[in-house]
Amino acid sequence: MSSALDPFAPAKLGRLELKNRIMKAATFEGMTPNGVPGERLRNFHMGIAEGGVGLTTISYCTTEADGRIMDSMMWLHEGIEDELGSLIEEIKTTGVKVSGQVTHCGHFSQNKNLQRDQPPKGPSKMFVGIGLTVGRPVAQAMDKGDIKHLIDTYGEAAAFMKRVGFDAMEIHFGHGYGLSQFISPKTNKRTDEYGGSHEKRMRLPLECLAAARKAVGPDFPILGKISMTDAVKGGITYDQGIEVAKSLDAAGIDGLIPSAGTSSYNSMYLFRGQSIAKGMAAMATGSGAKLLYKLMGPLMWKTYPYEPTFFLDASKRIKASVSCPVIYVGGVSTRADIDRVFEAGFDFVQVGRPLLKDPKFVKNAQKYSDYDSGCTHCNFCVPLIQHPDGIRCVLNDKTEKAYETAQ
């Protein structure tokens, strides 16, 4: 008899009760103009919640204003407490739990309205391609004061999240953003206690986790999304990714979400499917960004063919190396994909694009054993993070015209 967990049965994440084991993955919605959550973000998550997931994730919430890549991202602060609090409360009336992905872009910012650091800072002084689009191609190195400040922002953001009604938080340790810049030897060239060996490169991420834990206490689930590999020369390898997972597990993380790749060097590695180069150039607002994406797009977003459950084998190695729950993400688009993930022994699954294509993914997958969400992995939804109306699945658009303009 199979020992696989039932994806559709109630489950517990730490002490948090979920109606099933299927979660909405963080997909930056692009629905927080000037960083403020409103009606559009509400409608998006209500649609997902009503479709039957156990937990939805409000994406890319930054620990401070300068943690945003674009000023259309939301940062966690008192100024949005009422809007965010009522949005979360309403989603929770559906019985669905609400998590928020917490992050900081580090040196990887296109935000013209930076308040603290001009240019942005990361572990080490270096050229950062995305900075070219706003005339700031070189990021500076953080000093000890900057590091302390960043750790404090994680503690403050976590306390705010608990207060405002989130049920859980997901710290982003991957994809080339701030904490991942410290984890990766490609971007971390420091020679002090925050760079060099695995232990030293993990120091800041672990201190941010500890600050968040101190703020929320032991019963509030903290998940961690990691890159199992940066998949670029000089970055972390799959073997090193296992050590990252082990360190977070030992530090008391409540669940790990293994992804891979970096948004800065090769984001197609985490998506697979059709390249987003054309769409990114079409969506870019400034002429600098348009030109950069046109010229460099095919290199920045090189194509990796899509395969169902494309991170399964690598994620199984993570699952075998840690004791905390592991939440599989990447290429779960059909009922057969769900079954394969749970047969492989995972505790939960996160779903990104297929839930944009079909918000009723969970209800339909439960009902039909041959269910297919219909997501084609065309990735036209991805550049729409920069669209004024935010993301959507263009295959759901009523007219051909809308489909073309989305590209």
What residues from 182 to 201 belong to the interface with ligand FMN (CB under 6 A)? none
One of 59, 153, 184, 266 touching ligand FMN (CB under 6 A): 59
Total count of residues recorded for the chain: 407
Q: Does 172 participate in binding ligand FMN (rule CB under 6 A)?
A: yes
* Residues carrying an active site annotation: 177
Q: Does 352 participate in binding ligand FMN (rule CB under 6 A)?
A: yes
Q: Does 271 participate in binding ligand FMN (rule CB under 6 A)?
A: yes
Q: Does 331 participate in binding ligand FMN (rule CB under 6 A)?
A: yes
Q: Does 104 participate in binding ligand FMN (rule CB under 6 A)?
A: no
Task: State the sign of the Cα–Cα–Cα–Cα dihedral 88, 384, 236, 260.
Answer: positive
The site for ligand SF4 (CB under 6 A) is made up of: 353, 356-357, 375-381, 393-395
Q: Quote the CA–CA distance of 101 and 168 in Å, as a whole number.
A: 9
Beta carbon of residue 20, minimum distance to ligand SF4 (angstroms, whole number): 21
Residue 203 binding result from ligand FMN, ligand SF4, none, given CB thresholds of 5 to 8 Å by partner type: none
Q: Of 76 and 194, which CB lies nearer to ligand FMN in the complex structure?
A: 76
Binding residue count for ligand FMN, defined by CB under 6 A: 25
**Binding-residue pattern over the window 215 to 254 for ligand FMN, x denoting contact by CB under 6 A:** ----------x-----------------------------
Q: Does 158 participate in binding ligand FMN (rule CB under 6 A)?
A: no
Do residues 393 and 357 make contact, with C-beta atoms less than 8 angstroms apart?
Answer: yes
Up-side HSE of residue 325: CA atoms within 13 Å toward CB?
Answer: 20
One of 153, 259, 266, 315 touching ligand FMN (CB under 6 A): 259
Q: Of 103 and 153, which CB lies nearer to ligand FMN in the complex structure?
A: 103
Residue 121 binding result from ligand SF4, ligand FMN, none, given CB thresholds of 5 to 8 Å by partner type: none
Q: Which stretch binds ligand FMN (CB under 6 A): 191-199, 312-320, 323-331, 395-403?
A: 323-331
One of 22, 168, 332, 394 touching ligand FMN (CB under 6 A): 332
Residue 283 binding result from ligand FMN, ligand SF4, none, given CB thresholds of 5 to 8 Å by partner type: none
Residue 101 binding result from ligand FMN, ligand SF4, none, given CB thresholds of 5 to 8 Å by partner type: ligand FMN
Q: Does 392 participate in binding ligand FMN (rule CB under 6 A)?
A: no
One of 8, 20, 23, 27 touching ligand FMN (CB under 6 A): 27
399 class by beta-carbon count within 10 Å (0-12 exposed, 13-18 middle, 19+ buried): exposed
One of 23, 26, 41, 231 touching ligand FMN (CB under 6 A): 26
Beta carbon of residue 41, minimum distance to ligand FMN (angstroms, whole number): 13
Q: Of 70 and 289, which CB lies nearer to ligand FMN in the complex structure?
A: 70
Instruction: State the residues that interact with ligand FMN by CB under 6 A.
Output: 25-28, 59-60, 101, 172, 175, 225, 259, 270-271, 329-332, 351-354, 381-382, 385, 391
